[in-house]
Amino acid sequence: MSGDFVDELVTPGVAGLPERFFDRFVFNLHPTDSRDLCVLVGVGLYPPVDTVDGFAIAVTDSEQRNLRFSTALSATDGGSATAFSWRVVEPMTTWRLALEPNPTGLEFDVTWTARTPAWFGDVAVRNAGSGSGGTTTSFEHLFQSGRYAGWLALDGVKRDVTGWYGQRDRSRGVRTMAGGQGLHLWVQAQFPDRSIGLLYVEDREHAPLLLEGAVMPVGGPGDPVDPVVALRHDLSFDDGLDLRGGVLEFDTASGRRYHLDVDASGRGGYLAGGGYGGHHGRPAGLDRVESDVYPLDGSVTPASLDSALTDRLAAFGWGDVPGLGIFEFAHTRSRSYRYAPAR
């Protein structure tokens, strides 16, 4: 685990960075007691190719609205791109995010404030896919739970989002993923007194490639986190490779065992709508904006899109304590892998 993490993004014009360098953040936003709306937003900076791009996704009960944007990094102030802007008010503690009018009908002006300490470390995965040359992907990675203050509007209907949950993900470095993974899980389960965050990857022979994360208590930034040291999963995927639910059980360094029931029976959160699937970091000129809508009637699935990666707002049960949060998953579409529980 790294000792420090620089929360601010790199500035435009910085020189001497590797060709594939990126600096990225992703936030999500959802109520604490319902799954009627989930918002996913993110931005990536790519100074070596003078590009900044990002996305905003709104998931309702019936549809997923997608906004994708890109522009030249040198044409920005380093804190905005097209209709979206961001500012680190206090590193590791407070960010402000705003989305102005755009084709999706989604707008917001919110402040995110940390409610737990962050987990941060270095992600290292040995690449097994063709063309990887056996290289290792390595980059800094952070996740942290918080709450929001401010407002959100959809089609002009304004909602106060004060108190809503939000998890953020920060990453920086050189990503050279070239395939070979069978299952990817990024879990952010939010409970009143703690956040459970973990990242797990296994290969197509069901061998674990990566397990990192921790239980993060609600409190001050100096409160201790309890690292995750072992994970077992028993999940259910449908024919479209969409997660429906299941069970996670994991052990922590303190010797505690957690059993989480997972209900992911909703739809949406498909990150292909945000440009995942190989589109990030590709120069597209000035102020490019795209938008579309996915119906959530089962006709759009992880198997039908150009990326299977999905951020699903899920319900979690930890004994008799209910929780909500994002369950990110990707089940490879390769026929060489078939999901099997890990117990």
Check residue 122 and give its pLDDT: 73
Q: Can you read off the two tokens belonging to residue 4?
A: 């420090």
Tell me whether residue 340 is in a domain: no
Virtual torsion, Cα 175, 186, 81, 295, nearest 10 deg: 120
Tell me what the mean pLDDT of segment 196-213 comes to: 95
Distance (Å, rounded) from C-alpha 22 to C-alpha 281? Answer: 8
What's the rounded mean pLDDT across residues 284-293? 97
pTM score of the predicted model: 0.93
**Does residue 39 belong to any structural domain of this protein?**
yes
> Does residue 5 fall inside a structural domain?
no
Q: What are phi and psi of 332, to 5 degrees?
A: -55, 150
Using a 10 angstrom Cβ sphere, with 0-12 exposed, 13-18 middle and 19 or more buried, the burial of residue 23 is buried
Domain ranges, residue 324? 21-331
- Across residues 243-263, what is the average pLDDT? 97
Asked if residue 267 is part of any domain, the answer here is yes
The answer to the question of residue 174 being in a domain is yes
| Residue 48, domain member (yes or no) | yes
Listed range (7-16, 20-29, 79-88) with the worst mean pLDDT? 7-16
Q: Contact at 8 Å (CB) between 155 and 293?
A: no
The mean predicted confidence, pLDDT, of the chain is: 92
User: Average pLDDT in the 315-331 region?
Assistant: 97
CATH of the domain at 65: 2.40.370.10
Q: Which residue has the tokens 């999940």?
A: 235
137-164 confidence digits (pLDDT tens): 567 899 999 999 999 999 999 999 999 9
In the prediction, which pLDDT does 180 show?
81
Q: Are 175 and 22 in contact (CB under 8 A)?
A: yes
User: Structurally, how many domains does the chain consist of?
Assistant: 1
Identify the band that residue 192 occupies on the pLDDT scale cut at 50, 70 and 90: very high
Instruction: Reply yes or no on whether the pLDDT at 28 is more than 80.
Output: yes
Taking residues 166-172, what's their average pLDDT? 95
Residue 10 lies in a domain: no
- From CA 121, how far away is CA 141, in angstroms rounded? 6
